[in-house]
């Protein structure tokens, strides 16, 4: 199996020993505490599960700026985006060396982690602009990722953390949420060596399904990990439980036994296009995937990124040798009426647009809301049935 990034083994920050974790939970009762942002809580979940290994916690400002500029920390370690704990105020921390981090996404804001405070720094307007521009390629506050990043506060608390729980992900999605450690374990148990990962924040239509089959066949992979985002999305996106049901139904009916795993991870979407694609590749390598599918406008939103920017960044900005995972570069896939099957559009140069079955997202949502299933060339009927039920419940 492929090694984690920059190491022979994962370094998860979740405190797995029950007695040690119980002692830390008790310690947290007497520590100064701060409620962190949803993004910082999601980063704690990713750090806890080994996805961001070998990071030991939240970055200081110098490391964050380095990762934004050229994807390296000050000591030369590769990481594609800043991982920060940004807060509005540290008045309640009173110079504490250890603090409790409270989760904003769970009722009562329980402690999700304990942080050793190494530095507290104020982020200037210029530094915030630099990180925003490099990671999101825009300063536009209408960009949902930019708006979220700018809403976290300007005080960065850096230092290693000890993670005490996985927020709401483990309890709300017990059959789907998995850590990088757990996914590696299951890949090993299944005996897979070549593994391709597919990222999704949406239900999978026929074109997505066939793209996964195509990648598995061309890469000669033993298995597929469908890795679903379970964290916060933008308004209008389909809830995780509905996506989960739709994807599991598709896998059960249309994938051979022991060929696909349906899993999920706890993270708030950045919508950062190319930079987020690199982050996705980073933590897919950590979870044990040897290959990763990146398609048109991966992790994008609106018109902020070019169709294939998320593929090209691996040629133009990711340092050689920084990642071991290989990228499967996909084009838009659609049903060809000429060929009677799903194809990548770039591989059908003799086709015109009218030769494909293409439906806009708006049109699909309208159809589902009206109780009309999209054509079988676009969506599996069993998947459409689940989505119709959801849209008609709104």
Cβ contacts of 123 within 8 Å, gap of 6 or more: 61, 86, 154, 155, 156
User: Is 202 known to be catalytic?
Assistant: yes
Catalytic residue among 194, 202, 248, 329: 202
Catalytic residue among 201, 248, 329, 365: 201
Mapped onto helix, strand or coil, the DSSP state of residue 190 is: helix
Query: What angle in degrees, to the nearest 10, is found between the helix axes of 381-393 and 240-254?
Result: 160
Q: Express the helix, strand and coil content of the chain in percent, nearest 5 each.
A: 35, 20, 45
**Phi, psi values for residue 46, rounded to 5°:** -70, -40
Mapped onto helix, strand or coil, the DSSP state of residue 293 is: strand
CB atoms within 10 A of CB 258: 11
Helices (H), 178-254: 180-190, 206-219, 240-254
User: Is 85 known to be catalytic?
Assistant: no
Residue 174 burial by Cβ neighbours in a 10 Å radius (0-12, 13-18, 19+): exposed
Q: Which residues are catalytic?
A: 201-202
């Amino acid at each position: 199996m492929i090694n984690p990034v920059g190491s022979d083994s994962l370094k998860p920050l979740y405190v797995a020993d029950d007695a040690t974790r119980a002692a830390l939970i008790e310690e947290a009762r007497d520590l100064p505490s701060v409620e962190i942002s949803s993004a910082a809580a999601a980063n704690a979940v990713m750090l806890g599960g080994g996805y961001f290994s070998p990071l030991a916690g939240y970055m200081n400002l110098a490391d964050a700026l380095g990762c934004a500029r050229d994807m390296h920390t000050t000591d030369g370690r590769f990481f594609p985006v800043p991982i920060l704990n940004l807060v509005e105020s540290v008045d309640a921390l009173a110079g504490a060396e250890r603090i409790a981090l409270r989760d904003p996404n769970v009722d009562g804001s329980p402690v999700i982690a304990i942080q050793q405070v190494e530095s507290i720094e104020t982020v200037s307007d210029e530094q915030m602009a630099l990180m925003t521009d490099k990671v999101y390629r825009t300063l536009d506050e209408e960009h949902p990722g930019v708006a979220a990043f700018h809403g976290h506060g300007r005080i960065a608390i850096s230092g290693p953390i000890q993670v005490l729980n996985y927020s709401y992900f483990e309890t709300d999605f017990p059959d789907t949420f998995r850590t990088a450690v757990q996914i590696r374990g299951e890949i090993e148990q299944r005996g897979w060596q070549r593994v391709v990962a597919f990222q999704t924040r949406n239900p999978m239509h026929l074109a997505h399904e066939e793209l996964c089959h195509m990648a598995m066949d061309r890469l000669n992979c033993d298995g597929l990990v469908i890795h679903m985002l379970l964290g916060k999305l933008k308004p209008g996106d389909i809830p995780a439980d509905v996506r989960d049901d739709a994807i599991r139904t598709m896998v059960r009916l249309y994938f051979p036994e022991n060929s696909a795993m349906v899993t999920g991870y706890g993270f708030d979407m950045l919508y950062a296009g190319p930079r987020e694609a690199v982050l996705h590749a980073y933590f897919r390598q950590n979870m044990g995937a040897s290959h990763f599918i990146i398609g048109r406008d991966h992790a994008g939103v609106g018109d902020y990124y070019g169709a294939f920017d998320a593929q090209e960044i691996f040629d133009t900005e990711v340092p050689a040798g920084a990642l071991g995972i290989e990228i499967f570069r996909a084009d838009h896939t659609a049903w060809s009426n000429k060929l009677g099957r799903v194809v990548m559009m770039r591989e059908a140069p003799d086709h015109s647009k009218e030769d494909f079955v293409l439906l806009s997202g708006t049109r699909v949502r309208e159809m589902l809301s009206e109780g009309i299933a999209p054509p079988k060339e676009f969506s599996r009927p069993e998947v459409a049935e689940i989505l119709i039920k959801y849209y008609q419940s709104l």
